[in-house]
Structure 1
Amino acid sequence: MTVVFDRPYQFVPPMRSSWWPTVIQTLRLYDLYLRYSEGVVDYELRGLEHVQASKDSGRSMLWAPNHCRYADPLALGWPARQLGVNVHAMASWHLFNVSSFDSFALRRMGAFSIFREGNDRQSIEAAVQVLVEGKRPLIVFPEGAMNRTNDLVKPLLDGVGLIARTAARRRVKQLDDGQDPTVVVHPVGIKYLCIEDPQPWAELQLDQFEQRFAWQFMPDRDIRTRTVDVAATFLAIKEMQYLGQVQQGSLSQRRDALIEHLLRFGEQSLGLPMTIADARDRGRAIRAKASEQHFSPHQDTSEAELRRVATAADLAQELLSYQESYLLPGKATDTRIVETIQRMQELMDGRSNNRVPLKAVIEFAPAIEVSTSRPPKGQRDPVMQELDEQLNDLVANLSKEARAL
Structure 2
Amino acid sequence: MTVILDRPYQFVPPSRGNLWPALIQRFRVVDHYLRKKEGVVSYECRNLDVFQQSLARGDGILLAPNHCRYADPLVMGWPARHAKTPVYAMASWHLFNESWFDSFAIRRMGAFSIFREGSDRKALDTAIEILAAAERPLIVFPEGTTNRTNDVLKPLLDGVTFMARASARRRAKQQGGNVVMHPIAIKYLCKTKIDPWAHHQLSRMESHLGWTTSPSRSIRQRTIRLAEALLGLREVQYLGSSRAGELHQRRDELIEYLLSTTETRLQMPSSDPDVRTRVRAIRTKVSAKWFTENPDEQERLRLRNDVVAADLAQELVSYPNCYLESADVTDSRIVETIQRMQESLWGKADVGIELHAVIEFDSEIAIPAEKAPRGVEDPLITELRDRLSSMIARLSKESRPID
What TM-score results when the alignment is normalised by the length of structure 2? Answer: 0.98
Contact kept, 8 Å, 2:148 with 2:340, in 1: the verdict is yes
Tell whether 2:110 aligns with 1:114.
no
Would the aligned equivalents of 2:203 and 2:213 in 1 still touch at CA under 8 Å?
A: no
On the 8 A contact 1:127/1:138 being kept in 2, the answer is: yes
Whole-angstrom distance in 2 between the partners of 1:181 and 1:242: 55
Q: Does 1:402 align with 2:394?
A: no
Q: Secondary structure at the match of 2:370?
A: coil
Q: Could you say which residue in structure 1 is the equivalent of 2:54? A: 54
Change (3 A) 1:217 1:38: closer
SS at match of 2:42: strand
Q: CA deviation at 1:271?
A: 1.2
Q: Distance in 1 between matches of 2:290 and 2:278?
A: 18
CA distance in 2, matches of 1:217, 1:55: 54
Which residue of 1 is the match for residue 104 of structure 2? 104
Quote the Cα distance in structure 1 between the aligned partners of 2:57 and 2:12. 31
Correspondence 1:274 to 2:266: no
Distance 1:366 1:51 in 2: 8
* Match in the other structure for 1:255: 251
Shift of 1:274: 2.3
Once the two structures are TM-superposed, the CA of residue 212 in structure 1 deviates from its matched residue by: 1.4
CA spacing shift, 1:217–1:188, aligned 2, 3 Å: closer
Q: Which residue of 1 aligns with 2:325?
A: 328
Partner of 2:312: 315
**Structure 1, unpaired ranges of 5+:** none
Structure 2 CA distance for aligned equivalents of residues 137 and 392 of structure 1: 22
Give me the identity figure in percent: 53
Contact 1:184 1:368 survives alignment (8 Å): yes
Q: Runs of 4+ in structure 1 displaced over 4 angstroms?
A: none
Segment drifting more, 146-155 vs 299-308:
299-308
Matched position secondary structure for 1:324: coil
- The answer on whether the counterparts of 1:333 and 1:402 sit within 8 Å (CA) in structure 2 is yes
- Taking only aligned residues, the RMSD between alpha carbons, in angstroms, comes to 1.1
Task: Describe how 1:32-51 pairs up with structure 2 within 5 A.
Answer: 32-51=32-51
Contact preservation (8 Å) 1:265, 1:309: no
Within a 5 Å distance, the mapping from 1:230-309 to structure 2 comes to: 230-299=226-295, 302-309=299-306
CA distance in 2, matches of 1:136, 1:217: 52
**Is residue 193 from structure 1 mapped to residue 189 from structure 2 by the alignment?**
yes
Structure 1 equivalent of residue 370 of structure 2: 373
2:260–2:269 contact (8 Å) kept in structure 1: no
The alignment covers a number of residue pairs equal to: 401
Work out the CA distance in 2 between the residues paired with 1:192 and 1:361.
6
- CA-to-partner distance for each residue in 1:234-293, whole Å, 9 max, x for gaps? 100000001011112100000000000111121012111223331111110001111111
One-letter amino acid matched to 2:279: G
Q: Out of 193, 206, 224, which is 1:228 matched to?
A: 224
Give the secondary-structure state (helix, strand or coil) at the position aligned to 2:292. coil
Counterparts of 1:374 and 1:130, CA distance in 2? 19
SS of residue paired to 1:396 = helix
Partner Cα separation in structure 1 for residue 158 and residue 339 of structure 2: 29
Aligned-partner SS, 2:323: helix
The Cα of 1:217 is off from its aligned counterpart by 5.8
Q: Which structure 2 residues correspond to residues 59-138 of structure 1 after superposition, within 5 A?
A: 59-138=59-138
Corresponding position of 1:357: 354
Between stretches 190-199 and 298-307, larger displacement belongs to: 298-307
Deviation at 1:296, TM superposition (A): 1.5
Q: Deviations over 1:181-225 (max 9, x none)?
A: 100000000000000111101100100111112112636111000
Q: Distance in 1 between matches of 2:179 and 2:346?
A: 43
AA matched with 1:128: I
1:135 positional shift: 1.9
Letter in 2 for 1:54: S
- Distance change >3 Å, CA 170–CA 333, structure 1 → 2: same
The letter of the residue matching 2:269 is P
1:391 aligns with 2:375: no
Unmatched segments (≥5 aa) in structure 2? none
DSSP-derived class of the 2:63 partner: strand
Q: Is the 8 A contact 1:61 1:131 kept in 2?
A: yes
Tell me the residue number matched to 1:153.
153
